[in-house]
Structures are given as C-alpha cells and as structure tokens.
Structure 1
Amino acid sequence: MVGNMSKKFNSFKEFYPYYLSEHQNLNCRRLHFAGSCLVITLIFVAILKSSYMLLWLLPVIGYGFAWVGHFFFEKNRPATFTYPLYSLIGDWVMFKDIIQGKLDI
C-alpha cells in the first residue's frame, strides 16, 4: 500500500488535492459514491419511518463501501485513519464534484 500519510495539512483546501490523489481508481470512486448515496437514502428512510436505530448502520455503509474501494482497487490505506475529519469532508466534496461532473466515475 502506498500513500504519504505522514504529511501534515494546514487546511482542507491543502488536503483535498491529496485526497483526490488517493482516489484515482474509478472503481474506488464508484464505491465511495454508492456508499454516500446509500448513506443519504438511509437517513431519509430512518426519518420517514422513525426508525432511528437504522442510523447505527451509517458508518458501516459509508466506510464499508469506501474501504473496499481502497483495499481492493486503489490498494492504499484510507485517509480516514490519519485524517478523519478532512477525509469525511473530502468524501462529501468528492460526492458533490461527481454530481457536478467535475470528476468521472
């Protein structure tokens, strides 16, 4: 597994190019996107059905899809382990960039 996990970032703006460099494989990005879509869907279902216990599945779905992408396709260590907050923000910014057509999947 590769990656520069020892670098310290002073801002999310500085971190995001690194984050994208760790998500070059299309299958990895697709899995991130699918996981994010399922997270949004699960939130809506939990609210609509007042089944708030379903929300415990959010990290399993969100991280599960992403980590499969990293371990099996990208062959790197997820940034979540070293940069948890920036990585979470990066997931949603990448999701937005995919929806806006700025990134391919």
Structure 2
Amino acid sequence: MKSIKTYSEFWPFYLREHSKPATRGWHYVGTAMGIGILVFAVFTGRWWMLPLMLVAGYFFAWMSHAAVEKNRPATFTYPLWSFISDFKMFFCFLTGQMPKELEKAGVTKSSSTSQ
C-alpha cells in the first residue's frame, strides 16, 4: 500500500476499510459510549473515567475489524487521522450523509446497504 499523504486521500481509504455496515455500526456504538463517558465525567467531576472513553471506543472498533471486516485497523498506521475519521463517520451517520460519503469512496452498494 502506498503511503497516504493528505487527509483528503485518507478519508476514502478509511471508508473502504469500514465497508461493512456491521463494522460501522460497532464503531458508532463505541463512539457513542465514549461521548457518553465524556459527558458523564464532565458533569460529575469523575475525571478518572476519561481513559474509559478510549477503552470503549477502541474496544468496539478493533473487535469489529477482527470479527467483521477482517482487516487491520487504520489506527495502527494513521492514529490521528483514524481518530478524527471515527468522529466524522459517526456524525455523517447521524446527519444522513454516510450513504453519499460511501458512494464517493467507492464502497459498493451491497456492502453499504446500511449506514
């Protein structure tokens, strides 16, 4: 694989690495839990819970890559861009933009029937 130099190159690659709806779904679960933990920690002052955000997010993401997508998470090669893209993917899902983004990235209809 050639090295990716820009985020605009990375985003379509990231989506292709998340081509199966179940993979994206498990990412959404982890991201939502991470955001929930952040909100809870901020409102209760339980700052010791903040590392649990990463545990929740990465656990579901990495398990989905192992069990569903059967590929190596992009986090290991592009950690910052992957972190950013996980939130971008989550918000594209929430706003209904995911089908359009998947199409632009070349993810086939059969593998992306769900957001």
For the criterion TM > 0.5, the same-fold answer is yes
> Which digits, 9 at most, give the CA deviation of each residue in 1:22-76, with x for residues without a partner?
0011111001001111111100100111100000211111100100110000000
What's the Cα RMSD here?
1.0
Partner of 2:51: 56
TM-score by length of 1: 0.90
Please point out which of 80, 84, 99 is paired with 2:94.
Answer: 99
Partner of 2:74: 79
Uncovered stretches (5+) of structure 1, i.e. residues with no partner: 1-5
Uncovered stretches (5+) of structure 2, i.e. residues with no partner: 99-113
Partner of 1:8: 3
What is the identity, as a one-letter code, of the residue corresponding to 1:24? S
Please point out which of 1, 19, 25 is paired with 1:24.
Answer: 19
Residue identity (%):
40
Partner of 1:46: 41
Query: Is 1:90 the equivalent of 2:75?
Result: no
Cα distance in 1 for residues equivalent to 2:5 and 2:89: 19
Count of residue correspondences: 100
TM-score by length of 2: 0.83
Please point out which of 7, 28, 39 is paired with 1:33.
Answer: 28
